[in-house]
Amino acid sequence: MLNIVLFGPPGAGKGTQSGLIIEKYGLIHLSTGDILRSEIANGTQLGLEAKRLMDEGLLVPDAVVVGMIATKIEANPGAKGFIFDGFPRTIAQAQALDEMLQEKGTGIACMVSLVVPEDELRKRLLLRGQETGRSDDNEETITRRIKEYLDKTTPVAGYYESKGKLHSIKGVGSVNEIFDGICEVLNAQGGA
């Protein structure tokens, strides 16, 4: 299996690049943000509870997202591999993911981290907020999301770096240029 963590701050391009990666490499895309938004759209209890935190720009509890990911992994027994987008966001989530994959006799091949300066992130997210109305793409919530990322999520990069699995890529430029950089990393993992 080829299991990849696509990492980066809010607006780094994780969702955009995941779309290209799954098409080229035949992997399954697991975005905890997308799963939570579909729970909200379906009006579930989980969605109701998550929406309050998401609209504030705060992380949803580890147990909730770990449970969602476990369910999705179980639901795809024949997968060639998974691309994890927006997960893991805490060290506890990273450890839980390692345990889940170990049980399946597999693991994370690498983390690709998209590096984008904060002013560019804000510009992208405000633009998307205007275009799509995504409820957490507003000035105040963007600031909270970036703070949560810096406080709680950046240590996750260190977790993978200590295992020699971190690959940082410049996340500014055209979508295709950035994708080429990601492909170089994935091909070196035997993804081609």
Whether 52 sits among the annotated catalytic residues: the reply is: no
> Is 132 exposed, middle or buried, given 0-12, 13-18 or 19+ CB atoms closer than 10 A?
exposed
Angle formed by the axes of helices 175-188 and 14-25, to 10°? Answer: 50
Q: Minimum CB separation from ligand AP5 for residue 190, in Å?
A: 25
**Interacting stretch for ligand AP5, rule CB under 6 A, among 14-22, 74-82, 102-110, 156-164?**
14-22
Whether 14 sits among the annotated catalytic residues: the reply is: yes
**Interacting stretch for ligand AP5, rule CB under 6 A, among 30-38, 39-47, 71-79, 183-191?**
30-38
Please report, as residue ranges, which positions from 34 to 63 form the binding site for Mg ion (by CB under 5 A).
none
Q: Which does 48 bind (CB under 5 to 8 A by kind): ligand AP5, Mg ion, none?
A: none
Q: Minimum CB separation from ligand AP5 for residue 164, in Å?
A: 23
Give the residue nearest to ligand AP5 (CB). 33
Angle formed by the axes of helices 32-41 and 45-56, to 10°? Answer: 120
Measured distance CA(77)–CA(125) in Å, rounded: 35
Neighbours of 20 (CB within 10 A): 16
Q: Beta strand pairing status for 4-7 and 110-115?
A: parallel
Pick one of 4, 7, 86, 108: the residue that binds ligand AP5 (CB under 6 A). Answer: 86
Pick one of 2, 4, 8, 186: the residue that binds ligand AP5 (CB under 6 A). Answer: 8
Mapping DSSP to helix (H, G, I), strand (E, B) and coil, where does residue 60 land? Answer: coil
Measured distance CA(174)–CA(156) in Å, rounded: 26
Whether 145 sits among the annotated catalytic residues: the reply is: yes
Q: Binding to ligand AP5 by residue 128, rule CB under 6 A?
A: yes
Q: Binding to ligand AP5 by residue 59, rule CB under 6 A?
A: yes
Q: Where are the alpha helices (DSSP H) in 28-109?
A: 32-41, 45-56, 62-74, 91-103
Residues serving a catalytic function are 14, 89, 128, 134, 145
